[in-house]
Each structure stands twice: as structure tokens, then as C-alpha cells.
Amino acid sequence: MSRATVVTVTNQKGGVGKTTSGVHLAFGLRDMGKKVLLADMDTQGNASAILSRDPRINTRPGGAEQLFQNVADLKGVETPSGIDLLHGHAFLEALDKEVAVGDTAQLRDYVRSLPYDYIIFDTPPALGVRQVAPMLWADHLVVPVEPTPLAAAGLAATIRVIKRLIDSGQNGELKWKLVVNRYKSTSKEQTALVERMRQQFGANFVQFTFGERVGLTDCLARGVPIWEYKGTPKEVGEAWRALPSALGLA
């Protein structure tokens, strides 16, 4: 097997759809026949609960912290979703004090050697080792953003970190894409902001946007992607399912 492609979903603003995007990206790659691992770096473990269908999975240690321990022959746990998992949990907070960001770059080859086609990282919004290390390891970054002024401020901070990683040579080949989520097409303010983002970020802007849908919450509560959720309009499901292709991943 060739080395894994690492995709990190990140933003310094919370509530912009990182977990929704990361989980659907993993489901989309799974449906393309890829072997996928999701590593959940968030203490809330929402992505872990979705894939495992275990709401208490974030109360148990192990999982994603093993990546920082260079565990030999590490594999994720199989889940009902068909996606392997290194789960997130409350004890991950200890990594923020115990692990220096500068020491994690040497783990890049180890992470990429894990036996998967794709490794998806779901990261917390706080800037720290659990966010920056997966950015150092990544081939691709996916940056979900809600088209509101407050979310745009968080986006600017995230992009500064991305550019610093690229310009400093810490991850000089890093590619990144911006994905607009929770877009309300009836809002003139949001429509104008999306257009400004499109013009500002050019090729880094994914050329379609995702609206806010109740079905996204409902389908993930059942551990399935939106295209498998009854009542989802076909064009909505197909758009989410095509996310890996839109990002240039498969």
C-alpha cells in the first residue's frame, strides 16, 4: 500500500461545521471504495460518537492520543459506519500541556505510514498541539466557514497559521480549500460575503456552498451521511457525496 493521504479539517472558530464536513468527507471516500481512518482530536468526541454510535465514547482514554505515542502497528477501531476510528475523549486535553508542537513534525512519516488510503483529522477550534500537529502532518487542509462576520474573523486567523506553515517550510507542499457551510441564500449579507470570499481566495475556494439543513443534524444522530437519510433532496445528497471530488481528493 502506498502512503496514506492526510486530510485535516480545521478552523479556529467553533460551530462552523468541521465535524459535519469531516464525517461526510470520510463517508464519501468510503463510498469510493477507499480505506478510511478518522482521527478525532476534539475532547467532545462528536465525530467519534457519530461513527461509533456510542454517545459515551469520549469518556474513555486511548484512541487519538496514541498518534503522539508512536504506537507500533497502530490501527483504528472498526465502526458500524465502515470507517475506522481513533476516538476523541476528555483526556486529550493533557496533550496540550505534555506535547510541544515543535516535536510533532517528526511524526509526519509515522502518521502517513498507517495502513489507510485516507486519514481524516477532526480538530478542535483552539490553537494548540491538537490543531497544529494535524496541520503539520496534512497533505490537504479543509477549512469550513460560515458566511458571517464573526466566522470570517476566525477564518483570517486560521489562514495566517496556514500561510506560516507553508512559507516557513514546515509544510511547504500543503494544499488547502475553503468550504462555505450553513449558507442562507436568502441573506443578502451572506451572499455578498460569499462572493467576496470567492474573489479573495480564488482557486482555494470550493465552487459550491452548503446550505443549512435540519437533515444534517438528524442523519448524523443516526450515524449515516445525508445522502442515506430519508427525505433528503437528491441534489443535496449528491453534492455532499461529491465533496471528496470537489476538494480534488479522489
Answer whether 181's CB lies under 8 Å from 216's CB: no
Number of H helices, E strands in the chain: 10, 6
Report pTM. 0.94
Edge-to-edge strand ranges of the sheet holding 84-86: 84-86, 36-40, 118-122, 5-9, 140-145, 175-180
Q: For position 210, what pLDDT does the model report?
A: 80
Host H or E run for residue 157: helix 149-167
Query: What's residue 61's pLDDT?
Result: 93
pLDDT of residue 25: 96
- The pLDDT, as a whole number, for residue 42 is 96
Instruction: Specify the pLDDT at position 1.
Output: 54
Low-confidence ranges of the chain (pLDDT < 70): 1, 214
Mean pLDDT, the chain, rounded, equals 92
List, in order, residues 6 or more apart from 214 with CB less than 8 Å away: none
Give the whole-angstrom CA distance, residue 113 versus residue 133: 16
Q: Tens of pLDDT along 9-52?
A: 998 888 888 999 999 999 999 999 999 999 999 999 999 999 99
CATH of domain 5-246: 3.40.50.300
